Amino acid sequence: MEGNKRVSNKQIRAMVVSTIVGVGILSLPNQLAMASGNDGWVSILVAGLLTIGVVVFIGKIFDIYPDKDFFQIGREVLGNGIFSIFLIILFAYFIALVAFLSRSLAELIRAFLLATTPTEVIIITFILCTSYIAREEINIIGRLAYHIYPLILISTAALIIVSIPGLDPTNILPLFQSNVKEVPGGIRTSFFSFVGYEILLFSFFYSEKKDGRLKSAIQGVLIVMLIYVTIFFTTLAQYGLHGLQRQAYPTLSLVKEIDLPGFFVENLDGVAMAIWVLIVFSTMAPSYYSAAKVFSNLLNVKDHSMFILPILPIAYIISLLPQNTVTLTETLGKFLDYSGLIVIVILPVLIYFVGIYKLRRNKK
Amino acid sequence: MKKTAIVLMSVSLVFMSGCWDMAEINERIFPYSVGIDLNPDEGERYIVTISYPNIFAIGKNATQEERIYNVSSISSTIYEGIRQVNTRIPYPLYFKHLGTIVIGKTFAEDQESMRKLVDSTNRDFTISKRVRVITAEHMAHDLLKSVPIAVKQEAIEGTLFNMLKGNKKTSRYIPQNLTRFLQEMDMGGVSIMPRAAFHGEDLKIFGGCVFKNFQFVGHLGELQNRAVALMRGNIKETLVVAPFEDICISYSVSSSKAKKQLEINEGDIKITIHVETEGVLREYIYTDEVVEITPDILNEMEKAISKTLEEETKEVIRILQKDFKADGLGIAEYLQKFHPKIWEEVSDDWEGIFPGITIEPVIDAKIRRMGLTG
């Protein structure tokens, strides 16, 4: 069974890109402009480098224990009790992520495309649709990612190319004017737009080649950094700092600004939304998969697919709890920030250091 | 097995009843323009006018005659006005292809109303943010009502929108859209949008209305508007008529560049605006003897053109600084981008400082081509 569950390094890179790039891409430039003004790109770079740091730690863990998967390593290093507590937080994190993703998606779909369709219907169809792929194993998720990955690259490139005629590059000026105190806020904002690399915890073990996998994962993060920085600069050049601070979804507004000579393409936001739904789908599928995987391990069950449907109502109800988009980011978003810090930053680093310590002790 | 299949299939029927948001294209109304006025009479505050094409009057087998419909409503907020209009027409309004927003004169003078208008349009999901904005000389309602009687009209896309879109070979008015209007407001608190009026049989768009802090402060004439556009570097094509010796020469500008430069003398801000235009000599005079245009004559011509433009720009600078006290030249934007330290010092009292600074236009007109004759 283990033999046919392999993922290639290319798939790992695609998985990193398509899982990280998600709902946030539409609002990221705005949040960065609010947090650190014209110098938001600096915080993208710093946050990206921090992410690469964590990714390296994850890679090292699997180098220390090459023949064990994430759960086995965790139980061995941290002990059953502590690791189970972490797993519970991890499960809550993934459920919250699934709920957050589907609610954000539904809100935007309602606003831009389907004004009278009930939010509940959009959410439930989306979760149901994702549950189909989440039942599968990691190699299928890898294949999905591998097919959505070029779509992300092509659509970003196309968006930037068609918006070039309307850009005013001087809007990027002045550089390096923001207050030093504002930098950590920007890094915090942009770090959480790199969330999604935790799929590596579940995929590194299944990689075909051990030697190139870390390199592919880092390449993936670098590609995401590139995408974020170019989108930030494009929206900044289009709107200027003040305009960017007023746009809630600058990337989508950018699509609405497209005005090529000849007027043969205009109002492309419908097309952009359709592509964006696919991008969110490619973030949602691994998260949903991971949630079920963690839950099945907590209950010591080998097959995770039987937990997919029981998770559905939980995610659905949680996604409907926030009253509006503002409380959505205030409650679920905040929860994701803090729990994410524990389980996808502290946990891998902790496992690494404790693992190293135990290894050295055993050698003595 | 068979039973489950039947049950599943009948359940799936529920999902086949179609979508909540299904709308046929002929059951939607696509307005060209929205006009907004303050109500001059007593009662509620605003008059909202919506003009849209009558699709039954367009095409070969048209069944109706009236090609453009105008519907107005009086209401206390702009959005309410649009809702009220919705109740008087057969199909719902759909604003995705809205081309123009026409603002009435009195409305433009009311800062609060303008701020509400830009907020609601900018907040809306469907309205394209490139929607053109213009100010009517009097009432927006009257202007929209006169569009159908204008001689040259365009029923499909909207007359006003067609006049405002694309590259018109003039700089006597510069089309303005919502995004840029807001951008200029955010940067320096001043923006300019074209004026529109109805003369005789013709709809005319010309000049500019200067807005300061979302409030109308004054008009610019056609040539004044061109001078502003020249200093902002917005000119695509324009025709300059300059006196040369005893006659006038025509010079058409094919491209122009504007560059601002800051100098500080003992705390006083001095801005030099360098404008470089390139163009073609269009009209001189047909003399009896063949006159060879030497580099010297050409130089003289260039000087004459530069002088004319310089006079125009100086006049506009005076109007903007002394009469309107409004920085319509984008100097605040320039300082913010290229001299952020100085901008920090002056930004609090920019409105008070702007009328006192020295602005000097330096114009360098170049004749690149002279047509077929020598």
Residue of B161, B337, B342 to mutate for A, most A C-beta atoms under 10 A = B337
Q: Which residues of A touch B337 (CB under 8 A)?
A: 170-171, 173-174
* Residue A172: closest C-alpha in chain B: B337
Suggest the residue from B16, B22, B126 to mutate for an interface test with chain A (most A CBs closer than 10 A): B126
Inter-chain touch A115–B186, beta carbons under 8 Å = no
Question: Which pLDDT score, from 0 to 100, does residue B230 have?
Answer: 85
What's the pLDDT score for residue B61? 67
How much is the pLDDT for A127?
92
Does A266 sit within 8 Å of B128, measured CB to CB? Answer: yes
| Cβ of residue B122 closer than 8 Å to a chain A Cβ | yes
Instruction: For residue B182, give how far its alpha carbon lies from the nearest alpha carbon of chain A (Å).
Output: 7
Q: Tell me, what's the pLDDT at A261?
A: 63
- pLDDT tens column, A212-246: 889 999 999 999 999 999 999 999 998 888 888 88
Confidence class for position A317, pLDDT limits 50, 70, 90:
very high
Contact A114 B20 (CB under 8 A): yes
* Predicted pLDDT at A222: 94
Of the listed ranges A151-165, A257-271, A323-337, B308-322, the least confidently predicted one is A257-271
Nearest CB partner across the interface for B340, out of A115, A177, A240: A177
Q: How far apart are CA A356 and CA A348, in angstroms?
A: 12
CA distance B360 to chain A (A): 22
pLDDT 10s digits, B80-110: 888 888 888 888 888 888 888 889 888 888 8
The string of pLDDT tens digits covering residues A249-265 is: 888 888 877 766 655 66
Q: Taking the CB of residue B86, how many other CB atoms lie within 10 A of it?
A: 15
Q: Is A43 on the interface with B (CB under 8 A)?
A: no
Task: Encode pLDDT of B310-355 as tens digits.
Answer: 888 898 888 888 888 888 888 888 888 888 888 888 888 888 888 8
A3-363 has which CATH code? 1.20.1740.10
Q: Which tokens hold the place of B278?
A: 């390139």
Q: What is the pLDDT of residue B207?
A: 84
Is B347 at the interface with chain A, CB within 8 A? no
State pLDDT tens for residues A281-300. Answer: 999 999 999 999 999 999 98
| C-alpha torsion angle, residues B140, B145, B150, B153 (rounded to 10) | 90
Q: Is some CB atom of chain A closer than 8 A to the CB atom of B130?
A: yes
Partner residue facing A114 (CB), from B21, B96, B338: B21
Residues of A in contact with B20 (CB under 8 A): 114, 116-118, 121
Cβ-Cβ contacts under 8 Å, A256 against chain B: 128-130
The arithmetic mean of pLDDT across residues A65-76, rounded, is 87
* Mean pLDDT on B16-22: 68
Please name the member of A111, A116, A174 whose beta carbon is closest to the beta carbon of B125.
A111
Interface contact A240-B186, CB threshold 8 A: yes
| φ and ψ at residue B35, rounded to 5 degrees | -110, 140
Q: Write down the pLDDT at residue B16.
A: 64
Q: How many whole angstroms separate alpha carbon B83 and alpha carbon B91?
A: 12
- Whether chain A has a CB inside 8 Å of the CB on B257: the answer is no
Pairwise CB contact (< 8 Å): B338 & A177: no
Q: What is the CA radius of gyration of chain A?
A: 21
The CA distance from A227 to B164, in Å, is 35
Q: Which of B21, B337, B340 sits opposite A115 (nearest CB)?
A: B21
Under 8 Å between Cβ of A25 and A231: yes
Give the pLDDT of residue A294.
92
> Is this complex's ipTM strictly greater than 0.90?
no
Whether residue A262 lies within 8 A of chain B, CB to CB, comes out as: no
Q: Which residues lie closer than 8 Å to A56 by C-beta, 6 or more apart?
A: A214, A218
The one-character DSSP state at B47 is: E
Q: SS3 for B327?
A: coil
| Residue B62, pLDDT score | 64
DSSP A66: T
pLDDT at A263: 56
User: Which of the listed ranges A196-205, B10-19, B262-271 does the model predict with the highest average pLDDT?
Assistant: A196-205
Task: List Cα–Cα distances, B24 to A358, B29, B30, B40, B120, in angstroms.
Answer: 68, 11, 12, 39, 27
Q: What is the mean pLDDT of chain A?
A: 87
* Structure-model confidence comparison of residues A289 and A210, the more confident one: A289
Across A80-84, A177-181, A278-282, B279-283, least confident range: A177-181
Q: CB A257 to CB B130 under 8 A?
A: yes
d(C-alpha A47, C-alpha A178), whole Å: 17
Across B8-45, b (16+ Cβ under 10 Å) vs e yields eeeeeeeeeeeeeeeeeeeeebbbbbbbbbbbeeeeeb
Who's near B221: CB < 8 A, 6+ residues apart?
B207
Q: What is the DSSP string of B147-201?
A: GGGSSS--TTT-HHHHHHSS--S--SS---BHHHHHHHHHHHSEEEEEEEEEETT
**Of the candidates A204, A162, A176, A189, which has an alpha carbon nearest to the alpha carbon of residue A64?**
A204
Q: Which two tokens stand for residue B200?
A: 């005789």
A121: phi then psi, degrees, rounded to nearest 5: -65, -40
Do residues B188 and B271 make contact, with C-beta atoms less than 8 angstroms apart? Answer: no
Taking only the tens place, the pLDDT of each residue in B214-237 is 888 888 888 888 888 888 887 777
Q: Would you say residue A269 has pLDDT above 60?
A: yes
DSSP 8-state symbol, B290: P
Tell me which residue of A231, A292, A157, A202 sits closest to A16, measured CA to CA.
Answer: A202
Share of chain B above pLDDT 90, in %: 1
Q: How far is A257 from chain B (nearest CA, A)?
A: 6
Assign B11 a pLDDT band (cuts: 50, 70, 90). Answer: confident
pLDDT, greater one: B199 or A54: A54
**Beta partners for B247?**
B244
Whether the per-residue pLDDT at A142 is higher than 60: the answer is yes
Question: What does the pLDDT read at residue B81?
Answer: 85
Question: In this complex, is the C-beta atom of A117 within 8 Å of any C-beta atom belonging to chain B?
Answer: yes
| Mean pLDDT confidence for B254-268 | 84
Does residue A1 surpass a pLDDT of 60?
A: no
In angstroms, the first-to-last Cα distance of chain A is 37
Q: Which of B129, B161, B347 to mutate to test the interface with A (most CBs of A within 10 A)?
A: B129
CB contact under 8 A, B129 and A257: yes
Please say whether the beta carbons of A351 and A77 come within 8 A. Answer: yes
pLDDT at B32: 82
The pLDDT, as a whole number, for residue B167 is 53
CB-CB contact of A221 with A38 (8 Å): no
**A–B interface: beta-carbon pairs under 8 A:** 51
CB contact under 8 A, B19 and A114: yes
Extract the runs of DSSP E, i.e. beta strands, from A203-361: none
The SS3 call for residue B320 is: helix
Taking CB atoms and an 8 Å cutoff, what residues of chain A touch B338? 173-174
Inter-chain touch A174–B186, beta carbons under 8 Å:
no
pLDDT at A285: 92
| Of B97, B182, B340, Cβ closest to residue A243 | B182
Write out the two tokens for A335. Answer: 């929860």
- pLDDT number for residue B154: 62
Nearest CB among A240, A257, A266 relative to B187 is that of A240
State the average pLDDT over residues A52-74: 89
Total-model pTM: 0.86
Q: What is the pLDDT of residue A363?
A: 81
Q: What is the mean pLDDT of residues A19-33?
A: 88
| Cβ-defined contact of B182 to A171 (cutoff 8 Å) | no
pLDDT at residue A328 in the model: 87
Q: What is the pLDDT of residue A228?
A: 93
Residues 198..257 of A with a Cβ closer than 8 Å to B: which?
Answer: 239-240, 242-243, 246, 253, 256-257
pLDDT of res. B169: 63
Q: Average pLDDT for residues B353-364, to the nearest whole number?
A: 87
More confident residue, A181 or A38: A38
Length of chain B: 374
Chain B residues close to A121, C-beta within 8 Å: 20
* Candidate from B128, B165, B182 with C-beta closest to A256: B128
**Mean pLDDT (whole number) for A344-351:** 90
pLDDT tens sequence across B153-206? 665 667 777 777 755 666 778 888 888 888 888 888 888 888 888 887 778 888
- What pLDDT is recorded for position A266? 66
Tokens (6 digits) for B328? 């319509």
Chain B nearest C-alpha distance from A174 (Å): 5
Q: Do B186 and A242 touch (CB under 8 A)?
A: yes
A116 and B96: CB-CB below 8 Å?
Answer: no
